[in-house]
Amino acid sequence: MEKYAWSAKIKEGTEAEYVRRHNEIWPEMVELLKASGIKNYSIWLTGTTLFGYYECEKGIEFATKTQANSPIVDKWNEYMKDILIMEMDPVTGAQPQLKQVFELD
């Protein structure tokens, strides 16, 4: 199973709103993530820095293509743009993937 990690920032003072929106994540967004083969997804917050991690049971390419071609993701990104500062990879349309440098099994 391939692993994917990303990082982003949120606007200062929007931490509680970011958490609230994820506590109320849309069911159709959850369905899309699962259809993308995404498992074990978690997002971590320190200050205004986010770190996301998930595993791609169908591969990273499938996960990113499925999300990039989804109007649900477009709608979610529009919903989040007032609090989220995130660069998107112009090729995949997803958050730029972090390079893994260490793993302990």
The residues carrying an active-site annotation are 22
Report yes or no: 4 and 54 within 8 Å, Cβ to Cβ: yes
The DSSP code for 100 is P
CA-to-CA distance for 91 and 35, rounded, in angstroms? Answer: 21
Phi/psi at 85 (5° precision): -115, 105
Residue of 18, 103, 28, 38 whose CA lies nearest to 73 = 28
